[in-house]
Each structure stands twice: as structure tokens, then as C-alpha cells.
């Protein structure tokens, strides 16, 4: 078994230590996980120092969520003073890929949804693929469209910087970033998630996609 963090099949990042908390060695962790037990339940975790590729095991003793924030305060074994906690700033907390929480029906791990191809259930059109997942009241799938418009943004010089002696250059053109759309990840709109075939099927309400309004 390899311990190199670059092996994405081996490790899952659950959060990053952003600061110390208090005087007794506790740290604040910005969460990258949907599972509170990653930070609340005692047990083995792994810590990856900046500029390192091999995580080290560390015991999580206890933790709790800061109300209203996606942030946890955790106590790690062997870290008992503020100065020790400060040295962990920027470190990543990891678990092994085999350490997956039990999911309820219609729940999915974020890593399993990434890069899934997205199809319109009625037309069978391949719309795009999942590039990210956001949480804003409910989960949102960010989908990059396969049909990208060929558009360019014209950048003109500021009038205040043009003098009579200035040679006016042709406007520069900057390519747009790939267009993405946000899809509410709810059963009514995303009725089928086929992990085996790496596909998602949409049943979008009228106006959600507006694909006909995007020039291709």
C-alpha cells in the first residue's frame, strides 16, 4: 500500500488546519467533508504537512462544530500547547479511501460524483460533466457544458490613458472560461445517478438549462 498523497485512490482530504484555538493545543479545521463524525468521533486520522507527500498518523481525541460555520475545533493527541498548535497551520487532515461513512439511500460521496457525465433523461442528450459540488441550503452540481460558445471578450483601452501622441492598438480579445451551470441535486431534478456507468440523468424543469439560448 502506497502512502503517497498524490495517489488519489488512497487518501481523502477532510479538512485543513487554519489556526490554533485557545491555550490547550486545540486547532480550528476548515471542513471539506459532509460528515461531522470526521471531526467529532475519536480515532485515527492522518496529517499532511505543507510541502510533504507522505501523511503521518495522528489520533483525534475529540471535536465539535463552531455554530453557523463550516469549521470545527478539534483536539489532537500530543498537541497540548498553543505554540504546538500554531505549527500545524496549513496542514491537511486526511482519512484513507477505505474509511467511508455509511450512507443513507440517495446519498453519495462527493468524490463519486466528480466527472460523471450528465444526460437529459427525455432527450438522452449528453449535456456535460460534473466539475464541482456546492452546498447552499441544498447541494448543487456544477456542470461544465460540452457545447461551449465560441465567444471572445473585447478589452478596450481606457479613454483617460489615450493621448494624441498615443498609438491606438487594436483591442485585445480574451477567451472566455468554460461555461458551467448549477443543477439542484434533488430527486425531482436528478432522478438517476448511475455510478456503475458513471452517468447522471436530469429531468429539468422548463428554463433550468436554457441550452437553446447558448450559442454554439
Q: Are residues 67 and 149 in the same domain?
A: no
Residue 1 predicted with pLDDT over 70: no
Q: Is 159 domain-assigned?
A: no
134 φ, ψ (degrees, to nearest 5) = -120, 155
Q: Is 158 domain-assigned?
A: no
> What's the CATH code of the domain at 27?
2.40.30.60
Q: Is 141 domain-assigned?
A: yes
Q: Is 161 domain-assigned?
A: no
Mean pLDDT (whole number) for 68-95: 95
Q: Are residues 62 and 134 in the same domain?
A: no
Quick one: pLDDT at residue 215? 47
Q: Are residues 135 and 46 in the same domain?
A: no
Q: Are residues 23 and 48 in the same domain?
A: yes
Q: Is 145 domain-assigned?
A: yes
> What's the CATH code of the domain at 131?
2.30.30.240
Q: Are 46 and 64 in contact (CB under 8 A)?
A: no
pLDDT tens sequence across 163-179: 444 454 554 544 567 88
**3 state SS for the chain:** CCCCCCCCCCEEEEEEEEEEECCCCEEEEEECCCCCHHHHCCEEEEEECCCCCCCEEEEEEEEEECCCCCEEEEEECCCCCHHHHHCCCCCEEEEECCCCCCCCCCCCCHHHHCCCEEEECCCCCEEEEEEEEEEECEEEEEEEECCCCCCEEEECCCHHHCCCCCCCCCCEEEECCCCEEEEECCCCCCCEEECCCCEEEECCCCCCCCHHHCCC
pLDDT tens sequence across 138-148: 788 999 988 87
Q: Is 64 domain-assigned?
A: yes
Mean pLDDT (whole number) for 116-124: 93
Number of domains in the chain: 2
Out of 65, 96, 127, a domain closes at 96
Q: Are residues 128 and 77 in the same domain?
A: no
pLDDT band at residue 134 using 50, 70 and 90 as cut-offs: confident
pLDDT band at residue 108 using 50, 70 and 90 as cut-offs: confident
pLDDT tens sequence across 191-208: 999 988 999 999 988 877
What is the pTM (predicted TM-score) of this model? 0.55
Q: Is 122 domain-assigned?
A: yes
Domain range enclosing 18? 11-96
Mean pLDDT (whole number) for 111-135: 89
Q: Is 6 domain-assigned?
A: no
Q: Are residues 76 and 118 in the same domain?
A: no
Amino acid at each position: 500500500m502506497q502512502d503517497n498523497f498524490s495517489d488519489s485512490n488512497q487518501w481523502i482530504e477532510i479538512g485543513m488546519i487554519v489556526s490554533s484555538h485557545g491555550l490547550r493545543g486545540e486547532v480550528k479545521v476548515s471542513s471539506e467533508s459532509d460528515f461531522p463524525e470526521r471531526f467529532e468521533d475519536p480515532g485515527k486520522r492522518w496529517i499532511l504537512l505543507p510541502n510533504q507527500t507522505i501523511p503521518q498518523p495522528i489520533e483525534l481525541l475529540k471535536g465539535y462544530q463552531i455554530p453557523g460555520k463550516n469549521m470545527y475545533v478539534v483536539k489532537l493527541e500530543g498537541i497540548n500547547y498553543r505554540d504546538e498548535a500554531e505549527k500545524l497551520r496549513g496542514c491537511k487532515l486526511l482519512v484513507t479511501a477505505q474509511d467511508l461513512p455509511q450512507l443513507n439511500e440517495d446519498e453519495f460521496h462527493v468524490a463519486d460524483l466528480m466527472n460523471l457525465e450528465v444526460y437529459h433523461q427525455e432527450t438522452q442528450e449528453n449535456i456535460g460533466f460534473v466539475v464541482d459540488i456546492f452546498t447552499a441550503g441544498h447541494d448543487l452540481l456544477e456542470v461544465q457544458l460540452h457545447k461551449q460558445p465560441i465567444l471572445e471578450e473585447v478589452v478596450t483601452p481606457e479613454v483617460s490613458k489615450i493621448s494624441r501622441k498615443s498609438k491606438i492598438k487594436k483591442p485585445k480579445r480574451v477567451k472566455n472560461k468554460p461555461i458551467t451551470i448549477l443543477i439542484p441535486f434533488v430527486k425531482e431534478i436528478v432522478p438517476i445517478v448511475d455510478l456503475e456507468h458513471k452517468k447522471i440523468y436530469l429531468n429539468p424543469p422548463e428554463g433550468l438549462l436554457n441550452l437553446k439560448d447558448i450559442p454554439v
